[in-house]
Structure 1
Amino acid sequence: MFTTKSFIKKNKIGNYLKHVREHYIRDDIFCGFSCCETCSLVESSLTEEYVNKCSLFKFNHYLILDTNIILEQMDVLEEPIIGNCIILHTVLKEVKHRSLPIYKRLMSIVDNPSRHFYIFTNDHHKDTFMPQKDGELINDYNDRLIRKACSWYMDHLPNKKFVLLTDDRANKNLAKEDEIPAVTTTEYVKHLDEQVALGDKLKKKDSEVQKDAKSIFPPHLSTSAMLIGIKEGKLYQGTFRASRDNFLEGFVNVEGFEDNVLVQGRKGLNRAVDGDVVAVQMFDKTEWVSPSEIVLEDEGVSEENIKDIQKNENELKKNAKNSKKDEIRPTGCVVGIIRRKWRQYCGILQGNSDGLYQIFVPADSSIPKIRIETRQAEFLRSQKFIVTIDSWPQHSRYPHGHFVRALGKIGQQSTENEVVLLEHDVPHSQFSEEVLSCLPKLPWLITDDDVKKRVDLRGIDICSVDPPGCTDIDDALHCRPIEGDRLEVGVHIADVSHFIRPGTALDLEAASRATTVYLINKRIDMVPELLSSNLCSLRGGEERFAFSCIWEMDKEANIINTRFHKSIIKSKKAMTYEEAQITIDDKSKNDSIAQSLRNLNMLAKILKKGRLQKGALVLASPEVKIRMDSETMEPLDVEIKKMFETNSMVEEFMLLANISVAQKILEDFPDCAMLRRHPTPPSTNFDPLVKAGKHLGFDMKIDSGKNLAQSLDDATCETNPYLNTMLRILATRCMLQAVYFPSGAMQKDEYFHYGLAVPLYTHFTSPIRRYADIIVHRLLAVTCGADSTYPNLLNKQKTVELCQNLNYRNRMAQYAGRASVAFNTHLFFKGKVQDEEGYVLYVRKNALQILIPKYGLECNLFLATKGETSNIFEYDEDNQTQKAGNLIIHSFDRVVVRMSLDSKNIQHEKFTLQLVEPFIEGFSVQPLGQTEMEVDTNEAKTDKKRKSTSEKGNNKRKS
């Protein structure tokens, strides 16, 4: 049955057109109750056996949920004490439109039969559908449909009781006029048996400012005022990023500005939280200042005691007055919030204060503390738990939030892993049944039809080279001589796109996750293990589908021709980097694999030399390997990863394959090829590097990547062999992040990859762990005629949205990996005190930032106690030095420091450093004796375990 609505509309040329809309309605939609004798019976989890225990009502009842309840109170709805809920289709559509994450959380409840949720298609039922009135707002129309459905249920099943749950005051009042029982979430929860825990989960509304409440922050502009200001060029829109070194400082990344806009102080930050999209007002150029040289850590200032914050703000103002002209940055203040990027945060309670209101300290130090209301503070003191922000009133020093759920006891490794994943927004739930149903059934066999569609390379001696313990092997290589004294070189990549078809649940899940995340003792796969570690993994001795990029080269690594095709391969051997290196170096080995590896290594050296001559950068960042106890999973040792020539060999051919594929897909898809660019950093980014080089007597040229690469090559010192590495680490910090983008969204001169010094680049070589590579495989398959296209693949706007998610997920995965390393490093150092060699990376006004190469750690050595000025050191801002008597400390000077882990603040454990060498009277400490180097009471036991522990689970990390 159809219902129609027609309306007259005048077009651009003055003619009147009649529009007719049809809406499909039915008379066979099930109400959800098995006892109903009128409706056709369909499976439903609504049941009389489950009883909603709210003392407001003296009868068992079924809840009908308003839209705002689901959008704002999902943390409450996820609790099992609430059940027998009817979700109207009108509500479901609006939730999906307004928040896809909330929609997914709701559907996971609906899919759980123990929760007794039922979706009623009210907007297509003949008795509950109503047409929208002329001029009626969509929200009012939806509310009217909800009330109509409630009334229908009450008439349809008079023996059942129904309650509308709504936090919308107007909708609640109108419902009561229609004699529909209606209550707010707060009213309902307060009368539940378990209201203590649930009460903490209620989202709090913005608090009304009391007449005597003093405003701490300036008011935010309205949305309309911000939009007008941005349109007129008086305001600028950008993403706010909190400083990692100074909690009273941040930056706003404004598109089109060469430099980020600096914001300082509480009023300058004006309630912006890291990741928020904000409107910023620029100061007059005479008021621009330089970023602070002060390291400021929030040490837990209480809400009542703000003297320390005021003192710190005074330090910022003093620093601003002394800003040098060549170091000032565009400066402004946040005047409004365009879009909040609030999410769930992990952390702990601060201190031991009593009462209903508590201060929550997030694990992420860039997030401000959060004021929560809780009745279970005593329990939560021992827990790490999740909080979400609800609002940040103008009169409150902290944002207001509510408790979501406890994660586990503080310090437990399982808890910390969960914290790392949640804190970095890493999707890590189990794959759903819908996703798993997309997987091939075992046993999986290659058929004759598969062979006909692919190039059969099973007879070629192909091998893979990866880190030890790697199970998600997505690349393999071969090199063999061909006629004319030439070499055939092949890069063979797992054909993941064969198993993941566009638009399936598996495809959508992989696109959402975007990347595999590697923690120290855990891997969060982008795709189910059946694919990542089995059917797609190019394991030795097993037949697998691959996508091959094959070059014909001469022995000078010049490419004569390139071809791409889908293939079937059978890797002869899966090797580690070390095994491959031993094979190359062992002259007694002359089998086909050994010869192949030697030729690959020879060609790779030529390719790398050519890249470096074109200006490719060789940067550095300490990569740490943590050896774990196989039984207890506790860290046994922390060390820098050992690199072999074979690491570079594999890297060179992966880079070459990515470049070759980028050229091919751009040729056939000029508007929607997924590429990867590395933007040229603004010149001001290089200020720390240029300044450090100048003080060391090196002229760091930054006008081009090639000149920078040459400057880094020339900056060596015989007396300090680690100096060049530190300069490269410093150069790495100056870089912008590489990002994915569709070719049609940028001009061609913007495609350039600064770090690699190539005009065109993409990701093709790791589809098991990167979704971008799957998209590139699909594009390449179309160019080769191996597969057909589909609408979203050629939709530039869809690709732009996909790239935004990929860039975000990749960044978060990187941060999560670092956080996992940091936690396990801290775990290893607990109870230990030792002296280690280090180097001064930065000289700050109140601290030295020390790099400890042995462990890849960077720690602050503070030169005075908090809140005091040093009477030993004198800071020279012009030369970036600290002077103590006749001794001058420069960047990159060698030092010896005493390391210990300060666990007083269990939320933010940190290393405490004391200076051993050079010795400064009244400041340095004497070297430790040999017997004092380690105070681990389980030393002998640890050593015994260390000897028997093999290196397992080293995760795959390739460029």
Structure 2
Amino acid sequence: MLTTKVFIKKNKIGNFLKHIREHYLRNDLLCGIKECECCDASESILSTTYKNKSTLYKFNHFLVFDTNVILDQMDLLEESTISNVIILNTVIEEVQHRSLPIYKRLISIVENSSRMFYVFANNFHVDCHLPAKEGESPNDYNDRRIRKACKWYMGHAPFASFVLITDDVENRRLAQDEGLLCCSMEEYISHVENSKDLQDKLARLDYHFQGDKEDVFPLHLSTVEIHHRIKDNKLHQGTYRASRDNFLEGYVNVEGFEDPVIVQGRSGQNRAVDGDVVAVEIFNKGEWISPSELILEDEGAVESGVEEVIKKENELKSTEGKKIEDVKPTGRVVGIIRRKWRQYCGILQQDGDDSKIYHLFVPSDKKVPKIRIETRQGAFLKTQKIIVSIDTWPRHSRYPNGHFVRALGKIGDQVTENEVVLLEHDVPHSQFSEEVLKCLPKLPWVITDEDEAARVDLRHIDICSVDPPGCTDIDDALHCRELEDGTLEVGVHIADVSHFIRPGTALDIEAASRATTVYLVNKRIDMVPDLLSSNLCSLRGGEERFAFSCVWKMDRDANILSVKCHKSIIRSRKAMTYEEAQITIDDQSKNDSIAQSLRNLNMLAKILKRRRLERGALVLASPEVKIHMDSETMEPLDVEVKKLFETNSMVEEFMLLANISVAEIILESFPDCAMLRRHPEPPATNFEPLVKAGRHLGFEIKVDCGKNLALSLDAAVKKDNLYLNTMLRILATRCMLQAVYFPSGVYQKSDYFHYGLAVPLYTHFTSPIRRYADIIVHRLLAVTVGSDATYPDLLNKEKSSRLCQNLNYRNRMAQYAGRASVAFNTHLFFRGKIQDEEGYVLYVRKNAIQILIPKYGLECTLYLAQKGKTSAFFAYSEDQQTQTCGDIVLHAFDPVTVRLSLDSNNIQHEKFALQLVHPYVEGFSVPPLSSVSKRKGEEEVKVVSVDKKKKRRNKKS
């Protein structure tokens, strides 16, 4: 049956256009119930024999959910208690339109046949189809279609019972009037036996907490009002970012403003959560302020009112800076355009009564506010790391309201903490599915005659790999040999992962989703299964492997005479560590082909690096640390900054050269869809902290171009402070923007530039085992050299752009996850330890100094006063950026000695507690541990002497 709708529209020039929409209806759609004699039971998954868990209805029944139940209660629907469910197509379409993440979770449940969720295409069934009424809202129309489908099921299968679950009071009233069984989700779940855990997972959208007595926040503007005001340029749209150090301050990144807009206090932030897209009203310039330098933490309890917040706000206002040159755009959030709430990891606040049902959840991410939840498992959950979702944030509630999702494990457990790191940084880490594993090659894997015919055989060349110790996913190998004409042949050989991962397969889709391998301290989350990452694709010593080779002909001055790329077969002679390769180069008694190859590579790399730096490439710094683990207990044994050798730089230079050469080749063949990587030049304002720090030290840091910045950093050296230059480079690193992937067709060629490397064109080709971008580049290069065929998605600019967005996001999250893992294990190492360490002042703040401890790569805060108060010992100079106590003046980059210990009072946010040892300030500093130990030793000797005298007297008596 066909239904037709005709729409008449008037266009801009006054002509009327007729649009015809056809909708096909069927009468042969199956109900999905096995016991139905009218429908084919072979495709049915629902059954009247299934015993529902809720006793609200004493008979077996099928459940039908409306759209809002799916959107709000997905955490409950994922519980196995909920089964025998009819999901209407009307609901699926609306969920997909309103929330893609929830839609994906719903489809995941539907595809699991054991859950017994059946999709019924009610809007295509001749007896369930309903036309919309004139003036009817989309919500009312969908509710009416859901009720109609329920009535059809009652007539079609009179031997069964059907219950509509809806939290909409009016929809329940109408359903009851029409003779349908219906209830709310809370009613249904409350009648499940032992439902304590399930009731905790209920999303409660109508919280009535007894502590909520007054309005805490201003009203939000309506969506319509926000739209009109943005259109009239009275409001601006942007993404809200919360401060990690000050719970009463945040920023909104608004297009058209060079600096983020500051929002402070309750009225300024107005219930925005980090990541939300908000509407912000910008104040007049006379009301702009500078960012606060205070550190303020929310110490509120579940019952506390707004008084504490008002006190903190007053504290903040009393320290506001008003220097004209430092003020930034300031405003307030007036409405939420789109919420970006997600599931959050953390713990329950430890104070308070375990027996009460209301508790405060403290997220691991300090940028997220505390969340109030209702649970009857307080005593148990206080021992656990848990996941919580936000439901609502009404204006009368100091905190957002949410619900418990699940427990991850005991607080402090290393496995649990790894899980938290992965979840908090949205790292896909589930086991590879059977569908993905089916795409892997069968063992034993052998090279066929067909493979040999399609590739260049390089197994006779002495190739070796150079990697960190313990590396099993070896992406790259190198060789260098002298040719008959005296020139050098240099080859970079990269694992040919694209041979095993074919476009469009389940393995390819999974790798594209994961985008990158994530490295934690004691765990690696692979982008591709272990059979590929650590075996068939890894260029292990002595084993034949497929590679994609980039080979240059060079003179001894590192000038490139020619370049060619081709697929190859190689056999690496040796897999070496950076240290082993360095020893081989330095040991003049070694003159075999590998040693000579490494020496020539090192010689060429030094020339390449010198030229790169002359072009203006930056040598930046970041304190990377290595944590040594006990192989049995997996406890951290030691923490140290990674040691670098010349061979690290050697490998880096040839990887950079390969990436540049391949970028030039693929761009020439694919001018609109080459996968490239750009590093935008930072705005001048980003460099303000670096320029200011240099000026205080007597150096002029020029930031007008990358080359001048590089020269300025090279010149900023002091003989009496050898670490100063490194610290300036660490500061410079923090001024940079993120490098990002992009398809070539979306930017002008002038925007392809990579600022950090000072090259006009760059890509990633050299790590396809751990980066999906490199797999795409391999496919593009394979098409270019005639080794493979193209496919539609490879040439689709829109799909390439979406892929790049995911790659950039996953890459950023992987970096953050790695740092969080290092931070946790560093804390674990320092538990129970107290030691004096040398450090350097990194920043001078109003009530604190931030100190870098190079030995451990730690950046810690030494408070000079209680938070929000003035120091009794030090005087702060904002102009000079110094802290002074008598003759002692602390500047940025000054060397200091501090006592380092771990403060575990807040088990959610452990932090290092610092005390000043040197320079010594009477009444503030502490004596060195060595002198304390010496005094303790002297006291012990005296005690022993006294004891001996007593014993002698006792013997005489």
Q: Could you say which TM-score interval applies, normalised by the shorter chain?
A: over 0.9
How far residue 749 of structure 1 moved from its aligned partner, in angstroms, is 2.4
Change (3 A) 1:574 1:844: same
In the TM superposition, what whole-angstrom CA distance separates every residue of 1:729-770 from its partner, at most 9, and x where no partner exists?
111111111122222222332222211111222222212211
- Separation in 2, partners of 1:104, 1:591: 58
The runs of 5 or more residues in structure 1 that have no matched partner are 936-959
C-alpha distance 327-8 of structure 1, shift in aligned 2 (>3 A) = closer
Letter of the structure 1 residue corresponding to residue 775 of structure 2: I
| Counterpart for residue 518 of structure 1 | 519
**Structure 1 position 440, deviation (Å):** 2.5
Between the aligned partners of 2:16 and 2:847, the Cα distance in structure 1 is: 74
Q: Which sits farther off after the overlay, 130-139 or 678-687?
A: 130-139
Secondary structure of the 1:650 match is: helix
Task: Pick which of 234-243 and 135-144 moved more.
Answer: 135-144
The answer as to whether partners of 2:253 and 2:261 remain within 8 angstroms in 1 is yes
The letter for the 1-side match of 2:397 is S
Task: Name the structure 2 match of 1:37.
Answer: 37
Pairwise CA RMSD: 2.6
1:95 aligns with 2:82: no
Identity rate of aligned residues, in percent? 70
CA–CA distance in structure 2, aligned partners of residues 82 and 932 of structure 1 = 64
In 2: Cα distance, 1:297 partner to 1:762 partner: 42
2:948 corresponds to: none
For residues 54 and 292 of structure 2, what CA distance do their matches in structure 1 show? 55
Is 1:346–2:345 an aligned residue pair?
Answer: yes
Aligned partners of 2:301 and 2:360 also within 8 Å: no
Shift of 1:507: 2.2
| 1:282 lines up with 2:282 in the alignment | yes
**Residue equivalent to 1:203:** 203
Change (3 A) 1:11 1:219: closer
Q: Give me the whole-angstrom Cα distance separating, in 1, the residues matched to 2:827 and 2:300.
A: 21
Shift of 1:302: 6.1
Shift in CA distance, 567/67, structure 1 to aligned 2, threshold 3 Å? farther
- Matched with 1:326 is 325
Deviations 1:88-108 (A, max 9, x none): 344334434443332332333
Q: Deviations over 1:96-125 (max 9, x none)?
A: 444333233233333444433333444555
* Cα distance in structure 2, aligned partners of 1:337 and 1:431: 38
- TM-superposed CA distance for 1:70, in Å, is 1.9
Taking the TM superposition and a 5 Å limit, the aligned residue runs for 1:216-231 are 216-231=216-231
Question: Cα–Cα, structure 1 residues 890 and 574, in superposed 2: closer, same or farther, change >3 Å?
Answer: same
TM-aligned CA distance change 1:592 to 1:11, over 3 Å: farther
TM-aligned CA deviation for residue 690 of structure 1: 1.4
Distance (whole Å) between structure 1 residues aligned to residue 110 and residue 231 of structure 2: 44
Q: Give the match for residue 76 of structure 1.
A: 76
Letter paired with 2:347: I
> Is residue 458 of structure 1 aligned with residue 459 of structure 2?
yes
Distance across 2 between alignment mates of 1:44 and 1:441: 36
Compute the displacement of 1:128 (Å). Answer: 4.5
Matching residue's letter, 2:672: D
Question: 2:613 corresponds to which residue?
Answer: 612
Distance in 1 (alpha carbons) for counterparts of 2:454 and 2:900: 61
Cα distance between partner residues in 1 of 2:573 and 2:490: 16
After TM superposition, give the deviation of residue 308 of structure 1 in Å.
5.2
Whether contact under 8 Å (2:315, 2:868) holds in the other structure is no
1:31-430 matches, cutoff 5 A: 31-125=31-125, 127-128=127-128, 139-205=139-205, 207=207, 213-300=213-300, 304=304, 309-320=309-320, 322-354=321-353, 355-430=356-431
2:903 alignment partner in structure 1: 902
How many Å apart are 1:143 and its aligned residue?
A: 3.7
Shift of 1:656: 1.4
Cα pair distance change 1:864/1:22, threshold 3 Å? closer
Deviation at 1:48, TM superposition (A): 4.7
Q: CA deviation at 1:333?
A: 2.2
When residues 298 and 726 of structure 1 are mapped into structure 2, their CA distance, relative to the original with a 3 A threshold, is farther
Pairs within 5 Å for 1:738-749 = 738-749=739-750
Larger mean Cα displacement after TM superposition, 423-432 or 814-823: 423-432
Shift in alpha-carbon separation, 1:861–1:24, aligned structure 2, 3 A: same
CA contact (8 A) 1:836 1:896 kept: yes
> 1:472: Cα distance to partner?
1.4
- After superposition, the C-alpha distances for 1:748-798 in whole angstroms (9 at most, x for unaligned) are 322222111112222222122112222222222232233333333223222
Q: 1:305 to 1:220 in 2, by over 3 A?
A: closer
SS at 1:768 equivalent: coil
The 5-angstrom pairing of residues 369-768 of structure 1 reads 369-768=370-769
In structure 2, what is the Cα distance between the partners aligned to 1:209 and 1:413? Answer: 36
Q: Which SS does the other structure have where 1:601 is aligned? A: helix
**Matched letter for residue 430 of structure 2:** S
The alpha-carbon deviation at position 315 of structure 1 amounts to: 4.0
Please give the alpha-carbon distance, in whole angstroms, between the structure 2 residues aligned to 1:796 and 1:253.
27
- 1:237-277 CA deviation, whole Å, 9 max, x = no partner? 22222222322222222234322222222322222211122
> Is the 2:216–2:395 Cα contact (8 Å) retained in structure 1?
yes
Q: 1:923 & 1:611 partners in 2: Cα distance?
A: 48
Q: Is the partner of 2:550 in helix, strand or coil? A: strand
Name 1:801's counterpart in structure 2. 802
**TM-score with structure 1 setting the length:** 0.92
| Higher relative contact order, structure no. (Cα contacts within 8 Å, ≥ 6 residues apart) | 1
Distance (Å, rounded) in 2 between the aligned partners of 1:593 and 1:323: 64
Letter of the aligned partner of 1:262 in structure 2?
I
- Give the TM-score, by structure 2 length: 0.92
Q: Distance in 1 between matches of 2:9 and 2:111?
A: 46
**Distance in 2 between residues matched to 1:448 and 1:114, nearest whole Å:** 46
- Give 3-state SS (helix, strand or coil) of 1:802's partner: helix
Question: Does 354-363 or 115-124 show the bigger shift?
Answer: 115-124
Deviation at 1:405, TM superposition (A): 0.6
Aligned to 1:949: none
Select between 374-383 and 498-507 the one with higher mean Cα deviation.
498-507
700 and 776 in structure 1: CA distance in 2 versus 1, 3 angstrom threshold? same
CA drift of 1:680 comes to 1.5
Query: 1:299-329: CA deviations, max 9, x gaps?
Result: 4566526555444433433443x33333222
- Return the offset for 1:482: 2.4
- Are 2:294 and 2:868, in contact at CA under 8 Å, matched by a contact in 1? no
Which residue of structure 1 lines up, in the alignment, with residue 861 of structure 2? Answer: 860
Provide closer, same or farther for how the CA distance between residues 51 and 734 of structure 1 changes in structure 2, counting only shifts above 3 A: same
Q: Is the 8 A contact 2:211 2:303 kept in 1?
A: no
Q: Deviations over 1:498-546 (max 9, x none)?
A: 2222333222222222211111111111222222222222222222222
**Structure 1 Cα separation of the partners of residues 646 and 544 of structure 2:** 28
Distance 1:233 1:453 in 2: 61
TM-aligned CA deviation for residue 580 of structure 1: 1.4
**CA displacement, residues 132-189 of structure 1 (integer Å, 9 cap, x when unaligned):** 6787665555444433432333233322222122233444334333322122211211
CA distances 1:895-924 after superposition (whole Å, capped 9, x unpaired):
111111111110011110011111100100
The CA distance in 2 between the partners of 1:404 and 1:212, in whole Å, is 24
Larger radius of gyration: 2
Q: Judging changes above 3 Å, is the alpha-carbon distance between structure 1 residues 9 and 548 closer, same or farther for their aligned structure 2 residues?
A: farther
**Higher deviation after alignment, 117-126 or 258-267:** 117-126
Distance 1:414 1:513 in 2: 21
**CA distance 1:142–1:314, shift in 2 (3 Å):** closer
Aligned residue for 2:775?
A: 774
Q: CA deviation at 1:858?
A: 0.7
Distance 2:664 2:236 in 1: 37
Q: Given that residues 303 and 397 in structure 1 are in contact (C-alpha distance below 8 angstroms), is that contact kept between their aligned partners in structure 2? A: no
Find the residue that maps to 2:42 and give its secondary structure: coil
Give 1:802 deviation, angstroms.
2.0
Distance in 1 separating the partners of 2:537 and 2:140: 52
Which amino acid in the other structure matches residue 785 of structure 1? Answer: G
Distance 1:481 1:629 in 2: 45
* Alpha-carbon contact 1:206-1:393 (below 8 Å) kept: no
Given the superposition, is the C-alpha separation of residues 156 and 562 from structure 1 closer, same or farther in structure 2, using an over 3 Å criterion?
same
Cα 1:97–1:764 shift into 2, 3 Å: farther
Inter-partner Cα distance in structure 2 for 1:10 and 1:273: 41
- Equivalent residue of 1:630, what SS? coil
